[in-house]
Amino acid sequence: MGALDFDFRDPELHVDPLAYQRRFAEAEPVHRSSQGLWVLTRYADVLAMLRDERVSTDRRSLYRNKLEPGRPYLTHVEHNLFYRSADDHRRLRAPLSRAFTPRALASFEAEVAARARSLAAGLDEGGFDLVADFAKPLPLGAIATLLGVPDSELDNLAAWSMALIAALEPAASREVFVAADDAAAGMKALLADLLDLRRAEPGHDLLSVVASSGLPLTDDELLHNAIFLLSAGHDTTTAVLTGAAALLIDEREQRGLLAESPQAVDELVRFISPALMISRVASAPIEIGDNVIETGAPILLGLAAANRDPEAFPDPDRLDLARSQTGHLGFGFGPHVCLGAPLARMQIRLGLVALFDRFPELTAAAPPQREPSAVLTSYRSYPLAARG
């Protein structure tokens, strides 16, 4: 085997991202690629970067170099909080966070539980696709309801979301960005129409609340952050629901901990790592060990490898829903921790309980089929049937 050199074009990275990251974690946990990309895969180092104010999430210049001004996807990047840092990030995040307070989510739990039970009841015991029939529509429907988008738009939202998520891949092609342009434009048009309706007749959904809050958000900022919530707000939950079902089919004892153990869902998130890696930019020189990350350098944080670091999680490759160690990085950390993490935890718990209440015995026709990806755990299908 030759010298290690992290390469987004390497097929292995997309087929088995955890194994690829682990090669670096074991041999060179602070790695500088031949293209100038810093790759960190040890838990302590990744956590330190997520805490460091010199590590910026503002990566808009990367897209400005790829896309022409005025393209809908570039406009989406320019206006959403995923690509902002410091005060600008806090300004955009504050109004959206109102939907994810404990009080707000407590009032939403019955809606999520009812949706989970209804979807589970509709599954054909003779055979169904967990992704298409349950793991995707549950979180997508929940986040759409939160924003006031009707269920009649769920098919459009699913297609648009997948196009936007595909554009997150560092090696995304021109065709992927064209599809992302169409998706950003379509979703923005839908939400703009809804925003006009909510201003005329406010409801209790997030669009209504933010639009009437008086907070300093432009319409573009409100709409593009709603797009971000719709696209990013369900795919990671779909991944954990699908991966967890595969892990728990033959683990009835562990299943019992889903409703009893507060840390059970977090252990699933640690083990599955829905976000495999995230990128950052150094806004100032950063010393790490004997290395200095230079200003402006791109930094890649390997969350999947960090969540399996034996220094942080003893016996890291064993799923243990009673595990007492906390602090996984599956939802990120610090000011940029996943905004919808509390909702995701609720949906994963209620979704798995509803699924296994409906089918205590399940059999898989085939393993879950992953979407090739370097940055997200994403599933295409998972065929299941009731065990007769």
Per-residue confidence band for 388, with pLDDT thresholds at 50, 70 and 90: low
Element (H, E) at 298: strand 298-302
Q: Which domain holds residue 200?
A: 11-376
DSSP structure class, residue 109: H
Which amino acid is present at 83? Y
**Does some domain include residue 18?**
yes
Cα diameter, the chain? 64
pLDDT, tens digit, for every residue of 306-322?
999 999 999 999 999 99
**Does some domain include residue 342?**
yes
Q: How many domains does the chain have?
A: 1
**Does some domain include residue 246?**
yes
Q: Give percent of the chain with pLDDT exceeding 90.
A: 89
DSSP string, 144-182: HHHHT--GGGHHHHHHHHHHHHHTTSTT--HHHHHHHHH
pLDDT, tens digit, for every residue of 40-95?
999 999 999 999 999 999 999 989 999 999 999 999 999 999 999 989 999 999 98
Whether the Cβ atoms of residue 243 and residue 170 lie closer than 8 Å to each other:
no
pLDDT, tens digit, for every residue of 335-374?
999 999 999 999 999 999 999 999 999 999 999 999 999 9
Per-residue confidence band for 262, with pLDDT thresholds at 50, 70 and 90: confident
**Does some domain include residue 383?**
no
DSSP structure class, residue 34: T
pLDDT score of 2: 57
**Does some domain include residue 126?**
yes
**Does some domain include residue 86?**
yes
The whole-angstrom separation of Cα 356 and Cα 366 is 18
**Does some domain include residue 21?**
yes
Per-residue confidence band for 1, with pLDDT thresholds at 50, 70 and 90: very low
- Pairing relationship of beta strands 298-302 and 30-32 according to DSSP bridges: unpaired
pLDDT score of 126: 96
The stretch 87-113 carries a mean pLDDT of 92
- Mean residue pLDDT of the chain comes to 95
pLDDT, tens digit, for every residue of 6-51?
999 999 999 999 999 999 999 999 999 999 999 999 999 999 999 9
**Does some domain include residue 388?**
no
- Main-chain dihedrals φ then ψ at residue 69, nearest 5 degrees: -55, 140
For 231-249, give one letter per residue: b (16+ CB within 10 A) or e: bbbbbbbbbbbbbbbbbbb
The stretch 264-276 carries a mean pLDDT of 97
Q: Kindly report the pTM of this predicted structure.
A: 0.95
The whole-angstrom separation of Cα 237 and Cα 240 is 5
CATH no. for residue 62? 1.10.630.10
Distances (CA, A) of 344 to 216, 276, 330: 27, 17, 11
List the one residue out of 381, 384, 370 whose CA is nearest residue 123: 384
